[in-house]
Copies of this chain bind each other. A is one copy, B any other.
Amino acid sequence: MGVLTIVQSENGYLFCGVQGGDIQIWDLETYQMIRSIKGHSDDVLSVTIKGTGFVSASADGKINLWSEGFELEESIKQDNGVLLSLTHSQDYIVTGGTNHTIKFWNTQHLTSPVDNARKSSDLNDVNSGDMMLSVLDRWVSMRTVSGMPKYSEECRKGARFLKNVFQSLGAQSRMIPGASGRNPLVYGKFFANQIQSGKDAKDPSFKTFEKPKTVLIYGHYDVIPAENAKGLWESDPFKLSGRNGYLYGRGTSDNKGPILACIFAVHELLKQGDLDVDVLFLIEGEEENGSIGFQEALDEQKAGLIWRIQPLFEGVDVILLSNSYWLGEDVPCLTYGLRGVVHASITVYNGLSDLHSGVEGGAMSEPLVDLIHVLGKLIDTNKRVLVPGFYNDIRPITPAEDTLYDPIVKWLQRSTDKPLTSSSRSQHSCITPSSFSDSGSETSEYSNENGLKQQLMVRWRYPTLSVHKIDVSINNPTIIPRNAKAVISMRVVPDQKISDICNSFQSYTKKVFQDSKTENMISVQIESAADYWLGNPENKYFKAAEDAIEKEWQIKPLYIREGGSIPAVRLLERFCNAPAIHFPMASDQAHLPNERIRLLNLHAGRRIIKNFLKTVGTQKEKRVE
């Protein structure tokens, strides 16, 4: 199809009018067609940008006005002659046609142009700390919720915003296309001062010039939903709000706040002339959605060049992320391990319709009942997973590993006078009483060193299987649903192999079902999977982070693991052939209503990153390939 007209918007979209009536919108950053709209029933001859939206006109004389979100807002029918050209002023659309007339259309009711007063280029005028909060304020207001199509434009907006932040703070930046239908990633690179200016190079001779180290900082700009339908948020989740020393808002902690602390740390070093390392940022938009397409997007960039000169991910020495949490409010932590995860589903169905339980009850095998019997054979009442071989490959505990738990246990025992109760327990607080009903037994368990260690290990280094929910095809207390679907996850640990676990899970589940001899059918799906991650807390990067933390907080961090999973960590380690370290900035309410981050911790985090980067910059020995 012929492209009859092309116009480019200020923010990097290309609008194409196509023969037959389509309008295609391309993102010039990622070279992806992000939308194809059946906009007209005849050739689209003219497109013009208007305010935050655009206007299109077709050969049949129709003029369509479109919103920022590419929704049709209004349609005007030009009644004589073919419409050939189109432009606009503040208040009018102007059309020219075959009938020798120029028409002015009043469109004052169109969405008024956005407030362009607060461009990111203003950023350099205020001090860095205030600037960070001002940027966080605007970023939190963008509903960058992944996994929900209605927010995909907001995600792209949040990604573009981040790219502009990078650029205005002195980084080179570009967007990297996500996998098909997925949110883009944002790449940013700050070059070390010595490279930029050469001022710190001791030896002016190019030959002995030492290549600076490269730190890759990983994060994600997407957030989980916060519809606040139940009114559990004390303030609008998408409006940054400060109360009692905390910043509240979706993404403040997971993960926009920590990302900005890192970016501004680098920016400050750069301004001071103290940036001795190259810092790459890779900020993705699908982390809360299982990092779908992350591996594909990386592979796509493997041979990619930045500005056609330098490989995007060349020579990374260490990967840093800040996407987990302290054990409590009063002790900083470094995370050196994460469990992996397999998300799976089991569906039992009868290939028929939902049926009335009065009429059919007793005459058929119920899919939900069959599913219950299968699930009951996956895990027993002692929390033991019954999938054959499930526990075979767990790495034995070494004395060295065991001793890492001692300071944590000591800290917990010091905290027995203020044990974490159910009200302070959050989805991300790691240490909780195992006995929920009897608060008396909590204290005794906390005073038992071995019991406590066991509690930690069960969460951090042993695998498990959870059943999250069971969905049925119809929600009615008199109907036998035609299908029932269980959503399951398995957390995996060193040295379990994802492929072994998946195979054993699938074949065992099917066998159990077949043994029940029901007339229904089963489908067992692996939805996604991510490897565990285990860092080496003895390496120099962890030690550099430890020193930086101790300098800031006057206390040694605890080395902890976490039971949750972040798929990108292991993928990046493999992709860059470099180790990762994980530096949580605070405890929080991530994934919950009233997500927040303490302002004190955010600023401390920024300073720690600065010190960490300075230390890494002085570690002059060559990295080990």
Residues in A lying within 8 Å of B, measured CB to CB: 339, 341, 343, 350-366, 368-370, 372-373, 375-376, 379-381, 383, 422, 425-430, 432, 434-437, 455, 458-459, 462-470, 472, 475-481, 487, 489, 491, 516-521, 527, 562-565, 591
Contact = CB atoms under 8 A, between A and B. Distances in A.
A355 B437 contact: no
B427 A381 contact: no
B361 A489 contact: yes
Contacts of A479: 427, 468
Contacts of A339: 358
A139 B361 CA distance: 32
A359 B430 contact: yes
B369 A564 contact: no
Contact of A357 (B381, B455, B468, B480): B468
B381 A362 contact: no
8 contacts: A354-B427, A355-B425, A361-B459, A361-B464, A362-B383, A363-B459, A365-B381, A366-B466
Contact of A467 (B353, B372, B380, B464): B372
A519 B362 contact: no
Contacts of A379: 369
A519 B189 CA distance: 51
A477 B469 contact: yes
Contacts of A356: 427-428, 563-564, 591
B365 A383 contact: yes
Given A361-B465, A370-B381, A477-B487, 15 more contacts: A343-B477, A356-B427, A358-B562, A358-B563, A359-B428, A359-B459, A362-B458, A362-B463, A363-B455, A427-B479, A435-B519, A437-B519, A468-B481, A469-B475, A478-B489
A359 B434 contact: no
Contact of A468 (B383, B458, B478, B562): B478
B563 A360 contact: yes
Contacts of A363: 432, 434, 455, 458-459
Most buried by B among A368, A372, A480: A372
B359 A564 contact: yes
Given A352-B425, A437-B519, A472-B468, A564 B480 contact: no
A361 B470 CA distance: 18
Which 7 pairs show the lowest CB-CB distances between chains A and B? A358-B564, A362-B464, A356-B427, A376-B376, A381-B516, A361-B464, A357-B466
Contact of A469 (B368, B426, B562): B368
Contacts of A468: 357, 368, 472, 476-481
Most buried by B among A350, A373, A565: A373
A467 B366 CA distance: 8
A327 B339 CA distance: 57
A563 B358 CA distance: 5
Most buried by B among A343, A357, A430: A357
B352 A436 contact: yes
A527 B462 CA distance: 41
A391 B343 CA distance: 41
A71 to B, nearest CB: 21
A369 B470 CA distance: 11
